[in-house]
């Protein structure tokens, strides 16, 4: 009887939602157009009982037609956890237009849509324009959210069969190191089942400055800060003490204490260095998304995108960030299976602190994949764009690791030409020598 009591509460919650929110139980997605660019956007219901919905925004490729051509589709998942793909695709110079300093959309010469279709999803629920009408729809972990996202993609194949009947690539940054391998693992596993609902032609994934293995990635902050000249030897000893405490707390499963130590490391490094932006050590001010958010929150924009007028769009949701249960878990265990099946790209901004180069190199070295040592031992390629050094690349078999010069956590924002060149080379399976 005790268990049944807890089943009755969700039922009453659902009935209450149904009685008050009939208008939220239908998909709203439809075509949009702006400055000669077009695509589809809106809400797709993922739980018909509650009306909880994912918001997506699809940008068609230049001179492309998502219904009739076979151009590849890039699907973007932003990090956070809890940050909106809408905001960050615009900020990262991926979309066919950006928002200028006057708050107006203008054409973007660096758009990824010059060759490919592009879609972003406000993911997971509670991010951007995506919403949950019931707390029971929040999954709060990579596995649960990946399953829910997979069901959303299946809904899209039912609504628009041609859209996902093509080569597909998932890209993401930061906490995309959880989201991207999570959905890739789910898709590849379902593809191998005897009767998949839809066999996705997933060709590759890419992760920029990814949060993959917290245990490894939280142990190199002092080393990176000291070698970059941000802290002195005395300050290094303090940071390394916190790193040791963090590792101890992780090993004991004391996640709140480990998280607190992680915050102390980041905060002290910023303080010791005079207030660096922990996402880009070349800067002493934080990123500003105000203009983009004001544009997204205008009723004119919401109407164009078939988004709810009553939702206040935030670049990142603190509530979703606080809910995520697996922030300090690792997705490295998923990568061997993925690497055996499809191509994987990891790139890192040279000047990122929060996810820095030594941390990613150590994370890669710890991946339990038979070819990982071959990747580590392979010769570095000097990668040039328009005759200038853009970065350095190592590639072996299905794994490509790229360092993007003169960029922080948001590589495509800092180096739009070079980042686009990197992604296009990866998708087109081109070489890295100019």
pLDDT digits (tens, 9 = 90+) for 351-373: 999 999 999 999 999 999 999 99
Please report which residue ranges of 25-124 form alpha helices under DSSP H: 85-91
pLDDT at 129 over 90: yes
53-59 vs 117-121, strand pairing mode: antiparallel
Rounded to whole angstroms, the Cα distance separating 153 from 187 reads 10
13 has pLDDT over 50: no
- pLDDT category of residue 23 using cuts at 50, 70 and 90: very low
Task: State the pLDDT at residue 57.
Answer: 97
> What's the pLDDT at 5?
35
Q: How far apart are CA 63 and CA 43, in angstroms?
A: 25
Question: pLDDT-derived band of residue 9, with 50, 70 and 90 as boundaries?
Answer: very low
**Tell me: the pLDDT tens digits for 130-179?**
999 988 988 888 999 999 999 999 999 999 999 999 999 999 999 999 99
Q: Is pLDDT at 25 greater than 80 in this prediction?
A: no
Mean pLDDT within 277-294: 92
Pairwise CA distance, residues 60 & 395, whole Å: 30
Average pLDDT over every residue of 416-422: 96
What secondary structure, in 3-state letters, does the chain show?
CHHHHHHHHHHHHHHHHHHHCHHHCCCCCEEEEECCEEEEEEEEECCCCCCCEEEEEEECCCCCCCCCCCCCEEEEECCCCCECHHHHHHHCCCCCEEECCCCCEEECCCCHHHCCEEEEECCCCCCCCCECCCHHHCCCCHHHHHHHHHHHHHHHHHHCCCCCCCEEEEEEECCHHHHHHHHHHHHHHHHCCCCCCCCCEEEEEEEECCCCCHHHHCCCHHHHHHHCCCCCHHHHHHHHHHHHHHHHHHHHCCHHHHHHHHHHHHHHHHHHCCCCECCECCCCCCCCCHHHHHHHCCHHHHHHCCCCCCCCCCCECHHHHHHCCCCCCCCHHHHHHHHCCCEEEEEEECCCCCCCHHHHHHHHHCCCCCCHHHHHHCCCEEEEECCEEEEEEEEECCEEEEEECCCCCCHHHHCHHHHHHHHHHHHHCCCCCC
Res 6 pLDDT > 50 = no
Q: What is the mean pLDDT of the chain?
A: 90
Cα(360)–Cα(369) distance, integer angstroms: 16
Confidence of residue 434 (pLDDT cuts 50, 70, 90): low
Residue with tokens 């709140």: 256
pLDDT of residue 7: 36
Rounded distance, CA 160 to CA 44, Å? 12
Band (188; pLDDT cuts 50, 70, 90):
very high
Q: Which residue has the higher pLDDT, 2 or 249?
A: 249
Taking the C-alpha atoms of residue 283 and residue 226, their distance in angstroms, rounded to an integer, is: 17
Q: How many CB atoms lie within 10 A of CB 291?
A: 17
Angle between helix axes 233-252 and 255-272 (nearest 10 degrees) is 170
> pLDDT-derived band of residue 431, with 50, 70 and 90 as boundaries?
confident
Lowest mean pLDDT among 3-12, 26-35, 235-244, 320-329: 3-12
Confidence check: pLDDT of 21 > 50: no
Whether this model's pTM surpasses 0.85 = yes
Residues 402, 404, 408: CA angle, nearest 5 degrees: 130
DSSP state of 380: P
Q: Reduced to 3 states, what is the DSSP secondary structure of residue 161? A: coil
């Amino acid at each position: 009887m005790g268990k049944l009591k807890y089943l009755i509460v969700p039922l009453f919650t659902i009935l209450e939602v149904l009685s008050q929110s009939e208008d939220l139980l239908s998909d709203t997605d439809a075509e949009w157009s702006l400055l000669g660019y077009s695509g589809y956007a809106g809400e797709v219901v993922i739980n018909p009982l509650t009306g909880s919905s994912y918001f997506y925004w699809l940008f068609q490729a230049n001179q492309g037609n998502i219904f009739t051509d076979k151009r590849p589709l890039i699907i973007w998942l932003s990090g956070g956890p809890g940050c909106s793909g809408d905001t960050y695709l615009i900020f990262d110079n991926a979309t066919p237009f950006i928002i200028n300093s006057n708050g107006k959309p203008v054409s973007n010469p660096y758009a990824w849509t010059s060759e490919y279709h592009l879609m972003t999803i406000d993911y997971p629920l509670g991010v951007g324009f995506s919403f949950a009408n019931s707390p029971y729809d929040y999954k709060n972990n990579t596995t649960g959210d990946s399953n829910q996202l997979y069901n959303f993609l299946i809904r899209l194949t039912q609504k628009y069969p041609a859209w996902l009947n093509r080569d597909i690539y998932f890209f993401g940054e930061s906490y995309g190191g959880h989201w991207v391998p999570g959905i890739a693992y789910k898709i590849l596993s379902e593809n191998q089942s005897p009767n998949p609902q839809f066999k996705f032609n997933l060709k590759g994934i890419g992760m920029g400055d990814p949060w993959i293995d917290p245990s490894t990635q939280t142990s190199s902050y002092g080393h990176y800060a000291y070698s970059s000249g941000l802290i002195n030897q005395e300050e290094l000893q303090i940071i390394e003490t916190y790193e040791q405490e963090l590792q101890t707390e992780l090993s004991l499963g004391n996640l709140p204490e480990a998280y607190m130590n992680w915050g102390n490391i980041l905060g002290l490094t910023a303080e010791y260095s005079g207030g660096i932006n922990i996402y880009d050590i070349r800067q002493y001010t934080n990123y500003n998304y105000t203009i983009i958010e004001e544009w997204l929150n205008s009723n004119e924009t919401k109407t164009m995108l078939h988004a709810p007028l009553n939702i206040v769009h935030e670049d990142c949701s603190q509530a979703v960030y606080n809910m995520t249960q697996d922030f300090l878990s690792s997705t490295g265990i998923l990568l061997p299976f993925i690497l055996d099946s499809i191509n994987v790209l990891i790139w890192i901004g040279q000047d990122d602190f929060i996810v820095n180069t030594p941390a990613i190199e150590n994370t890669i070295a710890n991946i339990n994949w038979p070819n990982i040592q071959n990747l580590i031992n392979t010769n570095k390629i000097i990668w040039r764009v328009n005759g200038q050094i853009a970065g350095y690349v190592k590639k072996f078999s299905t794994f490509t690791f790229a360092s993007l010069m003169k960029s922080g956590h948001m590589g495509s924002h800092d180096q739009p030409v070079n980042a686009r060149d990197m992604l296009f080379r990866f998708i087109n399976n081109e070489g890295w020598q100019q």
